[in-house]
Every structure is written in C-alpha cells, then in structure tokens.
Amino acid sequence: MNTILSFDSGQPQTIGSQISTGAGISAYTDVVPGASQYRGGVAHSYNPAAFKDPPLVANIGQTDLSPLGGPNTQVNGLGYKDFDFSVFKSFGITERSHAEFRAEAFNLTNTPTFNLPTNTDYKDEANFGQITSTRSSARQLQFALKYYW
C-alpha cells in the first residue's frame, strides 16, 4: 500500500489599491484594524470592508511611507487537501512468472481545491473575492494488471 497526503494552507494573494497614491504610483491596500479579511466560502472568500485605500501623497519629499499601502500579501486563498492511495498485489503463477494487480486512486476523497479569487477590486462588493475555478481534478481511479515472465 502507498499513500500520499498533502496539505497546503493556501496561496498568498495581494489586494491592490484601486487608486494611484502619487503621480502614477500604484500601492497595496491597507487592512482595516480589527476587521477580518475573510468571509469564508467560495462565493465571497474575502471581506471588502477589511480593506481601504492608502492615503494620498501630501507633498513632494514626504518621508511618511503610508502612501505605499499595506503588506504585499494581505490574504491567503483557500487551503489544499489531497489524499492519494494505491494498493499492489503480486500473484505467483509459475516459478519464473507472476502477475501484479494495481489499484490507484488520486484525490480519493474527491475534495475540490479552488484557485485564488479573480476579482481583487474590493470596491466591487458584489464580485469581490469570488472564486470561479478549481485547481485540482476530480477523483481519478486507475487499475492495472501486469504479467512478468
């Protein structure tokens, strides 16, 4: 028997600011203190109320870095779980030959794994954080019979 169990906490994702804070300078959004960045679920993974645009550049030579925004990865996508399993059995036929049967299952639990949300415009509350595709395939079963001589 063989097993492979894979876990992933989720890919990091950046929520960019929808405005330029200076002369053509794009920035990352700030995270609102105390607000959860996540809503949960596939329809709306992220909470739009948790993000805000950084302040604009006030004057030339400004030393305050706040117009650059928050961190470059404010959120993580949904996690990844995968369980692969296989079983092999060898049967003796003669002294010099044998047969081997294999049964293999990929994504045995048929757990969907989703891509990152495609809409990162937090001002578009209806579509922000929507996941529209998966990154793993459905359960696959494979059987094989080999004859060795």
Closest residue by Cα to residue 18 from 122, 149, 128: 122
CA pair distance 98, 9, nearest whole angstrom: 44
**pLDDT of 73 strictly over 90:** no
Q: How confident is the model at residue 71 (pLDDT cuts 50, 70, 90)?
A: confident
Contact 105, 23 (CB under 8 A): no
Where is pLDDT greater, at 55 or 67? 55
Q: What pLDDT was estimated at residue 40?
A: 78
Name the residue type at position 73. Answer: T
The whole-number average pLDDT for the span 35-62 is 84
Contact 85, 2 (CB under 8 A): yes
In the chain, which ranges are E strands? 2-8, 12-13, 30-31, 51-52, 75-76, 80-92, 98-106, 140-148
CA pair distance 81, 5, nearest whole angstrom: 8
The whole-number average pLDDT for the span 65-72 is 75
Where is pLDDT greater, at 60 or 123? 123
The whole-number average pLDDT for the span 4-19 is 88
Q: What pLDDT was estimated at residue 23?
A: 63
Where is pLDDT greater, at 53 or 68? 53
